[in-house]
Amino acid sequence: MAAWDLSVIVEDLGPDAAPITISVASDLHIGGVILKLVEKLQIQRDWSDHALWWEQKQRWLLKTAWTLEKWEVHADARLVFMPQHKPVKLGLPNGIILKLRACFSNPVFQTVMGICRMLGIRHPEELSLLRPVEEKKKKKDKDLSEDIYDLTEVPLSSVSRPCLYNGMPPHFADSDKLEAVYKMLSVTQPPPAPEVIAKQYRPASVVDKAHINGRWLDSSRCLMQQGIKGNDRLWLRFKFFSFYDIDSKYDVVRVTQLYEQARWAILLEDIDCTEEEMMLFGALQYHISKVSQSEPQMLCSNAALDDLETALQSLEVKMEGESSSASELLKTMTAPDLNDYLKIFRPKRLTLKGYKQYWFKFQDTSISYFKSKEESIGEPIQQINLKGCEVAPDVNVAAQKFLIKLLIPAPEGMNEVYLRCDNEQQYAEWMAACRLASKGKSLADSTFQSEIDSIRSFLAMQKTNGSQGNAAASDESINPHSLVSPRYHKKYKPKQLTPRILDAYQNVNQLSLTDALMRFLQIWQALPDFGLSYVVVRFKGSRKDEVLGIAPNRLIRIDLGVGDVVKTWRYNNMKQWNVNWDIKQVAIEFEGNVNIAFSCLTADCKIVHEYIGGYIFMSTRSREKSEKDPLLIKHQLR
Amino acid sequence: MEDIDAMFSDLLGEMDLLTQSLGQETGPAADLPSSTKEVNFSTDYADWNASLNELEDKDLDDLMSDLMADLNATEEKLAAEIRGLEAPTPPPPDLPPPPNGQSVQAAAASPSPASLASAFPPPSSTTSPPPAPPSHSAKPSKEDLEAQVKAEKIKLALEKLKEAKVKKLVVKVLMNDGSSKTLMVDERQTVREVLDNLFEKTHCDCNVDWSLCETSHELQLERTFEDHENLVEPLSAWTRDSENQVLFQERGEKYEVFKNPQNFYLWKKDKKALKEIKDKDKEILIKENFCGSSIIVPDLESVLHLREDGKKSWKQRLFQLRASGIYYVPKGKTKSSRDLVCFVQFDNVNVYYGKDFKTKYKAPTDFCFVLKHPQIQKESQYIKYLCCDDAWTMNLWVTAIRIAKYGSLLYENFQTAQKKAVVNSAWTNRSTPSSSNPSTPSPTVKAKAQSQANGHAPKPPPGPVSQDFGHLPPPPPPPPALNDPLPPPPPDPVFPPPPPPLAAKSSPKAVGRQQHLQGNFPPPPPEMNNLPPPPPPEESPPDFLPPPPPMNFLPHPPPPTSFGGMDQSLPPPPPDPEFLPPPPPAPHVTGGGGPPAPPPPPPPPPAPVPPLQAALRPTGSAKKMPPAPPKRTTPVQGGGGGGGVDLMSELRNAMQKKRSNQ
């Protein structure tokens, strides 16, 4: 067979280097071509990750046993010899950019699997890659931060699956630097400064929300084919809002990143919620940021229980803890005394008297008051049982106003009683006591002290937020504006916001970190609009743009004029769906002879196609648990 | 050990006092059976006597039986059984005291006094029956027994110590038919447990719809308790003079959402489509909404009428339900989430159905629901009144609010209830064949027969009886109803027949029963040991049989007449009850599933009776069966006070002995 010259660009030689020309015959297989090439290069290094990329045809010549003839490669082919894995700058859900090597030759679906394996995220089928929204000029300090987190050094071969070492996947344990990366991945970020939130792009309408979904990469084609180059930016996000089998032990990174994505979705109003819900989200964020700073080790040791040694260690610790708790137990058995002079006011009574001072005494879940301390041995003037009551704060530190508003249920209705404290400490104690009592707990409850502490730290928040500014505020001085969307920045001043968040906080402040994260996710998932990915479409036969909402279990049609859901179709009634790639139209048939067809305007119909197929696949996961299935099935979707 | 003993005897002493005072009360109280007020007492041990004073005779009996059940804290199941068994005994109150006062009382109160006997010798002594049998049975394994008794005592004492602090309420539960049952509920008991308890007492079919409901007389409200709630807490919120009631009813809407989730989650679709939905799709809906990591609340939005604070008018607003609460769309605003105004959150309120609000509050319709703090018992501005256009909407809202409030608990409750129902129906199915022959239910039957006897005895024979008959037909369907006031009679009629049918079926029955005992009840319960060992069954039956007969006898006369109309079989009953040692298979059963009794009257005309029995039996028997210790039942009732073949009486006797020795 006749030999001819094939020129190959070797990426490693730099962009300006001349192509290498080798002499080949058409029956030479790709493996042979690479061998010749490497021999000619005379460079000693590991070429095993390298492969040939055919630029004109936009394809990898990965099957090394195929001959050039079979690949239909001729002398005019522009081949590039380059590594299959290249670094990308990956924007994580928590907003941090991480440099790592991603596979450029496999379909994106598999690339994501590789990335998730590297990061320690299970169920990669729920995530995908997005082209980032172009950002305006970067400041230099941002570039700096990008370099901090770098996983490109990690040998790909060392990334194995489920085992944990020191509570993290073993490839993070090699150096402090890598450990820092793991910490970034697995610990929630502190609340962002309000200005950071305010600066970010916020979708103002459903149509705005639809645009992001045009950016998803095609999971069945590789990064090279989609024009992504080495060192490009990509975003890693949860794409399918159907989170399977979350296990707080193995899913530390997954849960953390999911939380981050949810948090930003709420802060940026990507998903709508009511004011009450926003306050609860704010309270949870506050709690999570507090707890994650105080117990990150806990997190690790929890996750590390696999390791026998650590398990034993923690057992020891636990035993010690228990023995010492015996004495503690005794201590807590006897409830601390709480009595003091407070001022009381009953707004509903038709008396003109203002606050009157009495000697107050806390007993079990009741408060009693007496004329004075000296008379406190006798019958109280009144005893009020707080069980089941509502407790609301009315505090202004600057004005030294410390009011506890009690709404006490009685057969006749609710009685309003205000208690006025003189100072912060007194307020914190009585407030904590009232809170516990309203839940039917006495002061002997072990949470009393932590309740006091959390109230005090909340007061601190109110104190410091006059002088806000330093970006990621430290523990004691979180700006409440960091916890809510910018809409509420305008509506409430920080000091108005604090009591509202505090109010919601009392229901969550005893949660562990994991529980708090899960609670946040649950409330997010319970929002009516949760899980909807929007695409602007044009229904067949319709003349106006409408929005298709794709949810884990259904499709909804939203009329842009009314802004209302006009129709819902559930997947379990779906018989089939087809895509006409030529006219870019998706046609779906439902049971009962319901047929719909639409073309997609803000996203490729491939994206809609993948969404629907993906969700249908996800709904089958509970049955087929095997790990490889997702791959197979997803591939069949192509 | 001694300490415990001392402690124990202290406790017993207390019990004595208590029961003695009870005894005093029972006598006089007996003549005021008639009207029953809804009473609910919160009691500490301290003011127990006081509250007991207010109880009526019948209630007392029930209560005592409950107490005794408590006594046997260690044998939880057993205790449950006892309660179940003793339920039928309530009739006593109906008895006019004078004539046979003594004996009746003994018989009527049989379970309680008898059980109390353990605690204190005196009262029991009056009734001769109890002591006798025990001694008999005691013989077999005296040492074992003593050891057991000791262990029992210790446990009991510890248990009592713990319980001293537990708040208890005496609750009167109204049945469908207007009758009532009185139970003691302690604050740790969930509604589920109370329901189970009632299942056993009433022999209803245990389906998932059975609920406890609370009604508020003053506010005209009603709500079903959720199964996971503790019953005592909401009841404690009632005011002392309240006319509120607790009802035991089938409420289809309680778990409707799990039976037809589409009606709640796809309510926007047209009704026809909803009806045709496939089971598979229902499952998917449940899975999606209740089995995910977050509970999904139905997406509800409708125009409801809101009762304005203070004003008499109702104003329309567009309301939306979210997991976090109910919101409304303020005038001139969009429906977007951020504009919604929170109307109420669910942490501190319960949802109630309003009754007859059209009249009471001039509501646009009678389909109203209310949100209020459970402690609020009187009209107040803190109660939120909402009115829907139709019943469908109202149910949608109330159910969805419950989902939002209780979340996964609701589904767990349903699953538990369903398991219960399934187990029960399995039993029913199993026993239905046998139920056709009265044999299976026999224990119950007997018990009821006896009670009936009591019930009848007092009344002028013919009159009441015939009345009962009139009632008979209806009762069958709702077996539970059969219980107290009228009930006693109904069951009886049915029961009396049993004997005959038994006889009639004799052979099949005997077989059936045995199978039951041996086959269905896995291991012969521990009581077996205490039971007179199989060998002497022959003797034992006669032994304890005698005592009951007298009591039964008095009553019996009337029934025959009444039944006469009913059954040919009736004739046999009178004689058979207990007099003839062999005939009644029941005793045999009691005997511990001993050799099948030589069934005497073989006439096989069960057909006539069946209908009634069928109705009653299946359920009853079904119920009974599952628990396990059928024997137990028999003895208690069969012997009345006297049938001390069961563990409890064994224990009592043993304890008495021990005490006397000391």
**Scanning every residue of chain B, which has its alpha carbon at the shortest distance from the alpha carbon of A414?**
B382
Chain B from 204 to 263: CB within 8 A of any A CB: 237, 239
- From A413, A527, A573, residue closest to B380, measured CB to CB: A413
Residue B646 carries which side chain, given as an amino acid letter? D
Q: What is the pLDDT of residues A510-553, one digit of tens each?
A: 889 999 999 999 999 999 999 999 999 999 999 999 999 999 99
- Residue A69 forms part of a structural domain: yes
Q: Does B408 touch chain A (CB under 8 A)?
A: no
Structural domains in chain B plus CATH codes: 40-71+165-252 (3.10.20.90), 256-427 (2.30.29.30)
Chain B from 290 to 309: CB within 8 A of any A CB: 292-297, 299
- Residue A368 forms part of a structural domain: yes
Q: How far is B357 from chain A (nearest CA, A)?
A: 19
Residues A260 and A169 occupy one common structural domain: yes
Residues A131 and A191 occupy one common structural domain: yes
Q: Does B24 touch chain A (CB under 8 A)?
A: no
Query: Other CB atoms closer than 10 Å to residue A271's CB: what's the count?
Result: 18
Q: What is the pLDDT of residues A114-128, one digit of tens each?
A: 999 999 898 999 999
**Helix, strand, coil percentages, rounded to 5, for chain A:** 40, 25, 35
Query: Other CB atoms closer than 10 Å to residue B22's CB: what's the count?
Result: 26
> How would you classify residue A364: left for phi > 0, otherwise alpha for psi between -120 and 50, otherwise beta?
left
Residues A513 and A540 occupy one common structural domain: no
- From A272, A410, A411, residue closest to B338, measured CB to CB: A272
Instruction: Give the residue with greater pLDDT, A94 vs A479.
Output: A94
Q: Tokens for A6? A: 């094939």
- pLDDT above 70 (res A260): yes
Instruction: Give the residue with greater pLDDT, A33 vs B445.
Output: A33
**DSSP for A573-606, written as a single string:** GEEEEEEETTTTEEEEEETTTEEEEEEESSS-HH
- Spell out which residues of chain B touch residue A412, defining contact as CB-CB under 8 Å: 376-378, 380
**Scanning every residue of chain A, which has its alpha carbon at the shortest distance from the alpha carbon of B277?**
A573
Residues A252 and A154 occupy one common structural domain: yes
**Among B352, B436, B362, which residue's Cα sits nearest to residue B394?**
B352
Residues A75 and A110 occupy one common structural domain: no
* Residue B474: per-residue pLDDT: 39
Decide: A535 and A607 in contact? Cβ < 8 Å.
Answer: yes
- CA–CA gap between residue A248 and residue A258 (Å, rounded): 12
How buried is residue A162: exposed, middle or buried, by Cβ count under 10 Å (0-12/13-18/19+)?
Answer: exposed
> How would you classify residue B533: left for phi > 0, otherwise alpha for psi between -120 and 50, otherwise beta?
beta
* Residue A237: per-residue pLDDT: 96
Decide: B500 and B569 in contact? Cβ < 8 Å.
Answer: yes
- From B239, B273, B297, residue closest to A411, measured CB to CB: B239
Residues A103 and A242 occupy one common structural domain: yes
The b/e string for A527-559 (b: 16+ C-beta within 10 A; e otherwise) is bbbbbbbbbbbbbeeeeeebbbbbbbbbbbbbe
Residues A277 and A262 occupy one common structural domain: no
**Scanning every residue of chain B, which has its alpha carbon at the shortest distance from the alpha carbon of A416?**
B382
- CA–CA gap between residue B250 and residue B208 (Å, rounded): 8
Q: Does B375 touch chain A (CB under 8 A)?
A: yes
Residues A371 and A436 occupy one common structural domain: yes
How buried is residue B313: exposed, middle or buried, by Cβ count under 10 Å (0-12/13-18/19+)?
Answer: exposed
CATH code assigned at A23: 3.10.20.90
- Residue A116 forms part of a structural domain: yes
Residues A491 and A376 occupy one common structural domain: no
Which residues are registered as beta bridge partners of A421?
A: A402
How many Å separate Cα B290 from the centre of its chain?
A: 31
- Residue A391 forms part of a structural domain: yes
Query: Other CB atoms closer than 10 Å to residue B420's CB: what's the count?
Result: 20
- Spell out which residues of chain B touch residue A487, defining contact as CB-CB under 8 Å: 338
- CA–CA gap between residue A484 and residue B540 (Å, rounded): 79
For chain A, the domain total comes to 5
Average pLDDT estimate for A372-388: 85
- Residue A152 forms part of a structural domain: yes
- Cross-chain residue pair A273–B337, CB shorter than 8 Å: yes
Residue B154 carries which side chain, given as an amino acid letter? I
> How would you classify residue A250: left for phi > 0, otherwise alpha for psi between -120 and 50, otherwise beta?
alpha
- Spell out which residues of chain B touch residue A388, defining contact as CB-CB under 8 Å: 348, 373-375
CATH code assigned at A621: 2.30.29.30
- Spell out which residues of chain A touch residue B336, defining contact as CB-CB under 8 Å: 272, 563
Residue B216, H or E segment:
strand B210-216
Q: pTM for the whole thing? A: 0.69
- pLDDT above 80 (res A466): no
**DSSP for A469-491, written as a single string:** -SSS--GGG--GGGSS-HHHHHH
Range(s) of the domain holding residue A366 = 336-443
Please give the C-alpha separations between residue B168 and each of B53, B159, B214, in angstroms, as whole numbers: 16, 15, 18
Q: What is the pLDDT of residues A313-322, one digit of tens each?
A: 554 544 444 4
pLDDT band of A160, cuts 50, 70, 90 = low
Domain termination site, one of A83, A104, A126: A83
What rounded mean pLDDT belongs to chain A?
83
Given a cut of 50, the residues of chain B with pLDDT beneath it are 19-53, 73-75, 77-138, 432-645
* Residue A396: per-residue pLDDT: 80
What is the longest distance spanned by two Cα atoms in chain B? 88
- Spell out which residues of chain A touch residue B268, defining contact as CB-CB under 8 Å: 568
Residue B446 carries which side chain, given as an amino acid letter? K
Average pLDDT estimate for A253-271: 95
* Residue A153: per-residue pLDDT: 79
Residues A340 and A213 occupy one common structural domain: no
- pLDDT above 60 (res A324): no
Contacting B with CB below 8 Å, chain A residues are 243, 246, 269, 272-277, 280, 388, 390, 409-414, 487, 507, 518, 521-529, 553, 563-564, 568, 572-573, 592
Residues A104 and A45 occupy one common structural domain: no
Q: Does B318 touch chain A (CB under 8 A)?
A: no
Average pLDDT estimate for A332-351: 74
Residues A117 and A262 occupy one common structural domain: yes
Q: How many residues would you count in chain A? A: 638
Q: Tokens for A226? A: 């989609």
Q: How far is B139 from chain A (nearest CA, A)?
A: 48
